[in-house]
Amino acid sequence: MNLKSTCLLMLIMAFSLQTSHAQENRISGKISDINGLPLVGVTVLIKDTRRGVVSDYEGTYSINAEPGEILQFSFIGMKEQQITIGTAPIINVTLVEEIEGLDTVVITGFQNVQRDLFTGASQTIKAEDIKLDGVADVSRALEGRAAGVSVQNVTGTFGAAP
């Protein structure tokens, strides 16, 4: 055998060992909510690493991980869950809703800001205060109801949206 053949044979053996090793440590499962409905787009990360996957449209995931590593399951609106990997190749997870109340929120038209973090002036206008018969456009109804509100027609065309 020449040097090229020997190197190629060693490379193939190393690759086959590596792929069989990866298949032995394959963890998969299904992620659902408390009603049993699959959750799409759940992030599954191995804690303290950059390795991770996202659940598919059926709520299933599959990831290579070693026993003793910790899987983190996170999804918007759900409590994060952590599971230590044992010898089981299938880990099904049920995520629970995370319900949190907000105190006071100021809606600026561009974003929602907590009242204590908002630095500016705001004014509340109730819908019944701006309801005017014959005014079809909300922006025209707001005109003159709050300080600093100026509604302009920038096109110059009569009847165009301000």
pLDDT band at 72 (very low <50, low <70, confident <90, very high): very high
Separation between Cα atoms, residue 75 and residue 96, nearest integer Å: 10
CA 138, distance to chain mean position in Å, is 33
Interatomic CA distance for residues 126 and 154, integer angstroms = 27
At residue 4 the predicted structure's pLDDT band, cuts being 50, 70 and 90, is low
Provide mean pLDDT across the span 47-72. Answer: 93
Q: Are strands 105-107 and 43-46 parallel, antiparallel or unpaired?
A: unpaired
DSSP state of 106: E
Check whether 140 has a pLDDT greater than 50.
yes
Paired tokens of 27: 């963890």
Q: What is the mean pLDDT of the chain?
A: 77
Q: How far apart are CA 97 and CA 78, in angstroms?
A: 4
Chain segment 81-95, per-residue pLDDT in tens: 999 999 899 999 999
**Which carries the bigger pLDDT value, residue 121 or residue 51?**
51
Mean pLDDT of 63-71: 92
Q: Which of 17-21, 87-91, 99-103 has the highest mean pLDDT?
A: 87-91
Whole-angstrom Cα distance, residue 26 to residue 51? Answer: 13
Bridge partners (DSSP) of residue 67 are none
